[in-house]
A and B are shown apart, each in its own frame.
With several copies, the nearest count.
Chain A
């Protein structure tokens, strides 16, 4: 076979070609990369979850129109056009995947982590979710039912984990740091 050129070299080559064609501006690219490195990430979703935990009327709004309720906290944009929340309970555990590509709710969770993009996760979590969750460090009790959500269209799901016991006195600012990305996709519990 012919040698595969490294993606780093190919990316640099493509960038220089597109800059010559005036199709991309490196400083705009820098800004775009920085935005997803710093401003758009799971801290956004954590804010949504912490607000839902502390404000019953906000939770009700999330259930009825998650897109609007999330936008109200300032989070909207591509890959978040129609948001739906899934609430973990003692009886039901939700987990989200995109088998066809790696669709993910960018405005609330940022760009997907490596395990979400991994073919091992995409292929198997729709076939043997309990086994996959256990491999990922999230074994579930036998009496917890599993609901798997394959984001096959433009609906994007945010999982609302259960509020940890002993946090009754905490406010949104203290709660948000407790909410992890993995719990908001459904591969971890808090």
Chain B
């Protein structure tokens, strides 16, 4: 999805932070609670559809995405999915906070849950596909020119760029459809290497960028090198 969650190459977020040795997994106790609750509750409502959860993350308003960090956005995405599945009424969490503070506010009734009628065909994301891989290592490719309104694993900075297949990976369920509960559509995944100048122009730092891209994001082009 074209949203601020797709942030590769965007400037303005400041310097990278220096790693701290022995940083604990959760900076504050609520982060652990939000983490565990999200993983457990998501399993109950969406059959552990991680792509749907990631899509909920990217559908958050930018302030809800950024203001409370990583587990803050988990919490907000969990709430979004729970409201969409009618496990919770809209506003139920904020109302409960106000009651916990002692305010005399009426809580909405629990709605009737409305789980997506959808179940994955198997655990995890890897699947077998009947066809052999369409592309071989060394194949020059160009990425699609798309403007996704729903889930997609083709980042904006890698659209309409030329690269080279560097590895053939197992087939995965396609997040584009799986993440919105309309089908697994498993596809071959390829690692594609890009020259930094192809991505960022001739003044870029020289390096290679590799990304794991689904079959339908790629078109073969003539030649065997991307630059």
Contacts and interface: CB of A to CB of B under 8 A. Distances in A.
Given a CB threshold of 8 Å, the question of whether A touches B is answered with yes
Interface of A: 1, 4-5, 7-18, 20-21, 23-24, 28-30, 32-33, 36-37, 41, 78, 81-82, 84, 99-102, 110-115, 117-132, 135-137, 145-155, 180-182, 187-188
Given A123-B8, A127-B200, A147-B209, 8 more contacts: A4-B67, A15-B37, A99-B6, A100-B6, A100-B54, A123-B10, A130-B207, A154-B124
B60 to A, nearest CB: 12
A175 to B, nearest CB: 18
A155 B33 contact: no
A114 B200 CA distance: 27
B16 to A, nearest CB: 5
B75 A33 contact: no
- Top 3 closest pairs, chain A to chain B, by CB: A99-B8, A13-B96, A153-B212
Contacts of B137: none
B118 interface: no
A101 B167 CA distance: 22
Contacts of B101: 9
B117 interface: no
B182 interface: no
A7 B71 contact: yes
Contacts of B25: 36-37, 41, 110-111
13 contacts: A12-B30, A12-B100, A17-B93, A32-B39, A36-B32, A81-B124, A100-B54, A114-B17, A126-B199, A146-B205, A150-B212, A151-B212, A152-B213
Nearest to B124: A81
* B contact face: mostly helix, strand, loop, or mixed: mixed
Contact of B75 (A11, A100, A101): A11
Nearest to B72: A7
A137 B6 CA distance: 26
A33 to B, nearest CB: 4
A182 B153 contact: no
B208 interface: yes
Contact of A127 (B9, B36, B82, B110): B9
B211 A120 contact: no
Interface string B61-78: 010001111111001001
B213 A153 contact: yes
Contacts of A100: 5-6, 8, 54, 58, 153, 155
Given A153-B189, A153-B214, A119 B66 contact: yes
B13 A120 contact: yes
A182 B18 CA distance: 10
B169 interface: yes
Given A123-B10, A153-B169, A15 B205 contact: no
A33 B33 CA distance: 7
Given A81-B124, A99-B6, A99-B7, A150 B210 contact: yes
